[in-house]
Amino acid sequence: MPVPLQGDPYNLQGSNPNIQGGNVAAVIQPSASPVYGPVQPTAVPQPAPKATPAPSPNYDLTGKYGLVGSTVYRKSDNYAFSNPQDFFRETGLTSWNGVKLDTSYNPSAYKAPAPVSVTNYSPAPPPVSAPASNAVITDPNQKIAQNAGMAGLSFEDYQKIIAGQNGLSQTEKDTINKSLGIPALEESVFALPSKSTTQLYNDAYASAGLADLKTKVQSVIDQINSIRGQFTDASANVNENPFLSEASRVGRISRLQDKYQAQIGNLTNELSQLQDLYNNGVSEVNSLVSRQSQDFTTNQQLNASKLTYLLKKAEDQYATATSAKTNKAYTYLPDYLNAKAKAQKPDTIGSAETGYYRWNPDTGTFEQVIDPLDKSNEILSPTDALALGVPYGTTRGQAMQLGIIPQKPATDAQNQAAGYALRIQQSGDILNNLESAIQGYNPVGFEAQMKLPSYAQSGTIQSYNQAARNFINAVLRRESGAAISQSEFDNAYQQYLPRPGDSEEVLAQKKANREAVYSSLVNSAGPAYQSLTGSGNANDPLGLYKEMGGGVAAAISTKYPEGSTGGQCGDFAHQLVQFPPVGDSKTEKIAAVQKYGIPTSQWKPQVGDVIITGENPTYGHVAVVNAVLPDGKIQLSESNFKQSGKVSNDRVISASSPQIYGAIRGTLKI
């Protein structure tokens, strides 16, 4: 008796998470198709009671509806039904019994737009139900989603199409620029001064009346020269008079000197006053011209700085607006997935290990047609036995009785996904802890901090930047595998990271986006993630991976052997983990863990955590958790614990030790 497997376990391929089950279009006339697999159900559900089919009436719908493969089309507008319920709702039918469709119908071929630059996937809001089949589609994004799915496009290609359709137009960018006052500011930045320096000087010179003053100075000088000439002529007449005695000549010359010297003295005093006024005026004019030139230059520099800030602000608003449009487009992600499920669902799936299943359109289930092979008596390979911590000679059945489910070694793709997942988990924890601090920042102060070199930034901004780069690199490297552009970084900042002024709702959405990416990678990584983190799950109930430290302890010991030179404890810890500076003294270390870390009362140890202890009364101590043991104790990698500068990788202490002040969750470098 065939055993029905409820739902559709076929895995949709692409970079998005594997989607198990879901609504798929009924296959009316299944044809032979390749065998897909493997499917690994842990248990096959018992068959549900099968309803007795109603009498088969004759419903000839060939004039209105066509059938292509497993997809039903409405011929009037070439609409492809996303699931049987929509078709039944429109036609009033309750089953496929007796239904006749036009199997010769040939819908118009869909030609996807040319790919454009890849943007980052932002998880969509909660999926919405597919529209009723008689609804008119007005949003082109919904039609794109359906057509992309029916065409079998990969999720990456679907993302490219969405990005190309939802970028900002130049008009939209101009509107944002105008709202920020950028055009007017650009004009002021590049405007020439209203007057040249020479013209400005001449105007000030004339306004101060210095030209008239200079004329007066010259007039006094001319008067002095004239009086001196008169004295010379008069003196000559006296000296040339032969009838004057010497005493008379000397007396006359003396009187002439007194007369003319008095006149010249008065004019000289007047000249000195006029020259002082003129020189002071020239100095004031020079100072005025210098001040106005400096004011113009300073104003230009301030406007240029404002323009730089506003242009960055505009870029942020571009990214926000683009993200909003893209997120709206992704509300139709269910349409894409449903259409792709119809296009790719096989008639028969499975493998020798899991058994084979065939789709039954009447029951809407996969029914088992070939039983799985019994491998319970198969002996584990030496490699598998060693990895699972059981003696060689143990069978698969015996291992499963111990609660251990033998698995195949992780693939390269799973190992890569596990690495990205670990980076996202570690950076995500830091971002979660910093959300409130970043939200409360003044936007201008935040932007100023972000532009400073790392050594000049606050500890909060340093930690935020490091976690942000680690998170975005992991996401974008996994999605594109290529060099990451600045625009991709900016878009990811808007989608995933807390920003000053974010509302609680926006922070919650961004956190959900981060968690969705993390869950996707964990699912893709399979057993490789548990192996890497030592977190354990249903496939490792005995905590073997956890006990072994997920390979981290071994990796550290390989690179930094027991007894090798490691230097100061903090320096060595920074070689293993990326985390904020903690200072040299015990007081500084305690302050750092209070600022960046997790209190001991709230701490759940993880591999890679950096602990701060009071084991050295003067300097404190820094160590890295390389394994979490089954009894809750932690194993440490550290240096200089005994003031020797040497590395130790096997010291074990209680996670609740009163010597531990707290832990900082950074990013493993090993």
Q: Which residue has the tokens 């202490």?
A: 653
How far is it, in rounded angstroms, from Cα 77 to Cα 87?
14
Does position 417 have pLDDT exceeding 50, yes or no? yes
Higher pLDDT, 464 or 389: 464
| Sequence-ordered strand ranges (E) for 477-583 | 577-578
Does the pLDDT value for residue 327 go beyond 70?
A: yes
Taking residues 358-385, what's their average pLDDT?
Answer: 65
Weakest-pLDDT range from 89-98, 313-322, 543-552: 543-552
Flag whether pLDDT at 304 surpasses 70. yes
- The kind and range of the H/E element at 367 are strand 365-370
Q: How much is the pTM?
A: 0.29
Instruction: Find the Cα–Cα–Cα–Cα dihedral 150, 156, 158, 162, rounded to 10°.
Output: 180
Q: Buried b vs exposed e over 25-50: b needs ≥16 C-beta within 10 Å? A: bbbbebeeeeebbebeeeebeebeee
Does residue 622 register a pLDDT over 90? yes
DSSP string, 406-443: --PPPPHHHHHHHHHHHHHHHHHHHHHHHHHHHHTS-H
Spatial CA neighbour of 493 closest among 532, 530, 452, 464: 464
Is pLDDT of 17 > 50? no
Pairing outcome for strands 598-599 and 660-665: antiparallel
Mean pLDDT of 579-595: 91
pLDDT digits (tens, 9 = 90+) for 624-633: 998 888 677 8
Residue 415: Cβ within 10 Å count: 17
pLDDT of residue 137: 66
Per residue in 545-586, pLDDT (tens digit) is: 333 334 577 778 878 888 889 999 999 999 999 888 899 999
The domain limits of the chain are 190-326, 376-406, 412-533, 561-668
Class of domain 561-668: alpha beta
Q: Judging by beta carbons within 10 Å of its beta carbon (0-12, 13-18, 19+), is residue 637 exposed, middle or buried? A: buried
Q: What is the mean pLDDT of the chain?
A: 75
Give the strands of the sheet with 348-351, arranged side by side: 4-6, 365-370, 355-360, 348-351
3-class secondary-structure state, position 5: strand
- Average pLDDT estimate for 586-594: 92
Q: How far apart are CA 211 and CA 216, in angstroms?
A: 9
Please report the DSSP string for 559-625 in residue order: HS-TT-B--SHHHHHHHHEE-----SSHHHHHHHHHHHSEEGGG----TTEEEEE-SSTTT-EEEEE
Q: Is the distance from CB of 133 to CB of 90 less than 8 angstroms?
A: yes
pLDDT tens for residues 460-518?
888 888 888 888 887 876 655 556 677 777 888 888 899 998 889 888 888 888 888 88
